[in-house]
Structure 1
Amino acid sequence: MNKFLNYISIAVVVFTLFSCNKNEWTPDKEAEFKKDMKKGLLAQGQGLFSDEQAAHVADCVFEKIKSKDLKPNDAKKPETLIQVQQMGKECAQEALSKTKNGTDNSWNPEIEKTYKAILKNTFIQSGVESSKATLLADCAIAKMKEQNIGPADLQNPKNSDIVQKIGKTCGEELLKKK
């Protein structure tokens, strides 16, 4: 999902904000970086990340930044920003694929509502009428739930064929209803 990458850009923005002042990571800067990144993921993620997942992504990105010995002023280099964005993507995929307590990869009303909105918007942007886009989004979510495909599974490229088949099936069902 394209929005997924937008959320990961938060890692780059937060990293850039810390490129001022001293060029070293202090415990205060580390805590503020993690707090701001988590806050950004939760605000911009529109329900994509749980509180625990957002905290995991923030911790993971910061640890990767430290392991690469990147300093706050390195944020001024384009190649560093690309690295941090990739770190954010990797950490987000890891967080979304974890299924601690069996809850991180399950549908709840909030996540379902978010994904339906994303799907509906995608269908509308591709030329589908709003009412039909709603039906397609509802169908897709229902079929994903039937096949035990959770929200985190949608981030796995290996599942793209299954998701495309679900979309095709829902489209065919909609045409039959006419």
Structure 2
Amino acid sequence: MKKILNYISIALLALTLFSCNKNEWTPEKETEFKQALKDTLQSKGKDLFSDDQIVSITDCIFDKIKSKNIKPNDAEKGENLTMAFQMGKECSQEIIAKTNATWNPQSEKTYTAALKRTFTQSGFKNEQASALADCAITKLKEQNISPADLQDPKKAAQIQKIGLDCGKELAKKK
């Protein structure tokens, strides 16, 4: 009996030691975590973020998670998941503000595609969606609204008005 208890004690000790190391950030776990995050951003944020932005957002989120001392197995707990979503939002806004201060061919292409997809999903025909997206981007640029401004709640009414104006223009062309 004493022999069995010794084996159980050794097994529990080994399990405890193994478990302690299991919930630490290793280079492999970091790589795996970042890859999963990148994959999610590429699928969910399709046409919203460039590849460079996705890498920057991923790095930012990971750095924030580590700074809050959230371990790999703790990342999916309710309170940490909520915090991670907030971190993702903050990182996205920071990166967009840094990289989208002005319109450039890449940001214009990205936002035009995103708008077109949104309009198509809302029931517009492909050519109508393209016309609306092109109109919106043109008017945003005319009114000096940068891609970073699209996240600014203070600009929401102005951006909404641009969408309505483009819809009216499309209706007149029919």
TM band (smaller chain): 0.7 to 0.9
AA partner of residue 114 (structure 1)? T
Structure-2 separation of matches of 1:168 and 1:48: 22
Greater mean deviation of Cα atoms: 35-44 or 135-144: 35-44
- CA 116–82 in structure 1, closer or farther in 2 if over 3 Å, else same: same
User: How far off is 1:146 after superposition?
Assistant: 1.1
Correspondence for 2:5: none
User: How far off is 1:122 after superposition?
Assistant: 2.0
Correspondence for 2:13: none
Deviations 1:8-61 (A, max 9, x none): xxxxxxxxxxxxx71011345335534553465456543533444333322221
Correspondence for 1:87: 87
Correspondence for 2:26: 26
Correspondence for 2:154: 158
Greater mean deviation of Cα atoms: 28-37 or 89-98: 28-37
- Flag the structure with larger Rg: 2
RMSD of aligned residue pairs (Cα, Å): 2.6
Matching of residue 105 in structure 1 with residue 101 in structure 2 = yes
Alignment of 1:1-178 (within 5 A): 22-34=22-34, 37-38=37-38, 41-42=41-42, 45-99=45-99, 104-178=100-174
Deviations 1:46-99 (A, max 9, x none): 353344433332222122212222111113422222221211111111110115
Structure-1 separation of matches of 2:98 and 2:107: 16
Cα pair 1:47 1:110 within 8 Å, conserved = no
Structure-2 separation of matches of 1:162 and 1:52: 29
Number of equivalenced pairs: 154
Q: Which runs of no fewer than 5 residues in structure 1 stay unpaired?
A: 1-20
Correspondence for 1:9: none
Structure-1 separation of matches of 2:120 and 2:42: 25
Structure-2 separation of matches of 1:114 and 1:52: 13
Runs ≥4 residues deviating over 6 A: none
Structure-1 separation of matches of 2:46 and 2:38: 13
AA partner of residue 120 (structure 1)? K
- CA 171–43 in structure 1, closer or farther in 2 if over 3 Å, else same: closer
